[in-house]
Amino acid sequence: MVFAGINYLAIVIAALSSFGFGALYYMSLAKPWMAAIGKTADELKANSSKTPFVVAIVAELIIAWVLAGALGHLGAGQVTPRNGLITGFILWGGFVITTMAVNHAYEGAKRTRTIIDGGHWLGVLLIQGLVIGFFGV
């Protein structure tokens, strides 16, 4: 097996791009998301902290690094935008949405929450795959 390598600049740009996407995504779906988690804007403001944002950016850096590694294992010349999108989708379908669905089912979460949060993580992986594939190795 040939490992194509990792472009660390692509990882950082992919993580920052997907973080920005998440901000826009959840701002546009704020009301249905709050209804899905059963909280009001006032409740969220009362418990506000910067910790979730730090956790999110660190997680997105790790996700981008892992995605870049998965793409690198396709071999030389295979780190492309197309393969980035395909790999991002496969990882989302195989690991992310399935894990979320199980966790949300046990929590008794509303299906809307799984759809909204799952859509966010799909967007994250597709954006990251596209950016990493665009930059290549």
Write out pLDDT tens, residues 77-136: 999 999 999 999 999 999 999 999 999 999 999 999 999 999 999 999 999 999 999 999
Q: Tokens 């949060």 correspond to what residue? A: 117
Q: What is the pLDDT of residue 45?
A: 85
Q: In 3D, which of 13, 15, 8, 4 has the Cα closest to residue 124?
A: 15
Q: What is the DSSP letter of 3?
A: -
Of residues 7, 22, 47, the one with CA closest to residue 119: 22
Q: Indicate if the pLDDT at residue 1 is higher than 70.
A: no
pTM for the whole thing? 0.94
CB 92 within 8 A of CB 121: yes
Residue 33: pLDDT band with limits 50, 70, 90:
very high
- Amino acid type, 117: D
H-assigned helices in the chain: 8-28, 30-37, 41-46, 51-72, 81-91, 97-107, 111-135
pLDDT band at 31 (very low <50, low <70, confident <90, very high): very high
* Average pLDDT score over residue span 71-82: 94
Distance CA 70, CA 134 (A): 15
**Distance from C-alpha of 82 to C-alpha of 20, rounded to nearest angstrom:** 22
| Cβ neighbour number for residue 6 with a 10 Å cutoff | 18
42-70 pLDDT, tens digit per residue, is: 888 888 888 999 999 999 999 999 999 99
HSE on the CB side for 96, CA within 13 Å?
24
